[in-house]
Copies of this chain bind each other. A is one copy, B any other.
Amino acid sequence: MNNQKRLIVDMDGVLADIYGQLIRYELQSSGTELFRENLYGQDEIVAFPNGRTHANEKGFFRTAPVIEDAVDTLKELSQHYEIFIVSAAMEFPNSLEDKYHWLDEHFDFIPWKNIVLCGDKRVIRGDIMIDDHFKNLDYFDGTTLLFEQPHNSEKDNNGHRRVRNWKEIRDLLL
């Protein structure tokens, strides 16, 4: 059996740059140019009124950019932790296969056994969770790291440790 600690890693906003992708889709579909630095403190649904529509389009998650340093850091962490990628994807059923193939392209060192696409993460158990949403971290029985994104940037940490990028995660966990 595996005695490594189990690290639960979120996808959207932690591995995949969903802000970058939403900004690109908004520009393409309506011509409106949004700037990340103007979105701090706004909930995602306020920042991107068409976000849910785009998120259910085939290809949206398949072509999302990867967050800086996520690949190299996660590869290094995978030598020391049992890593599970856990994404709350079920609200957008068209994303399910896109997410699988995106992970297979960018994070091919994560085996298919260690991927979870779910609705509600309360059902997940592990030792450490990295996520950008309080609704996931608040119910986790373990150490929690809040990955900073504009939607949580002006909120209280609510007991979670805030990390701003993958270099900070590396320093904490290795």
User: Contact residues of A with B, CB < 8 Å?
Assistant: 6, 8, 84, 86, 90-91, 93-94, 96-97, 100-101, 104, 111-120, 123-126
A93 partner residues in chain B, CB cutoff 8 A: 97, 100-101, 104, 112
Instruction: Report how many copies the assembly holds.
Output: 2
B120-A117 in contact (CB<8A): no
Inter-chain CA distance A119–B93, complex, in Å, is 17
- Min Cβ gap A91→B in Å is 6
A116-B112 in contact (CB<8A): no
A119 partner residues in chain B, CB cutoff 8 A: 111-116
Inter-chain CA distance A6–B119, complex, in Å, is 15
- Min Cβ gap A164→B in Å is 27
- Min Cβ gap A105→B in Å is 12
B96-A117 in contact (CB<8A): yes
Inter-chain CA distance A127–B86, complex, in Å, is 21
A120-B124 in contact (CB<8A): no
A97 partner residues in chain B, CB cutoff 8 A: 93-94, 96-97
B118-A117 in contact (CB<8A): yes
Inter-chain CA distance A119–B85, complex, in Å, is 10
Inter-chain CA distance A86–B84, complex, in Å, is 16
A123-B120 in contact (CB<8A): no
A100-B91 in contact (CB<8A): no
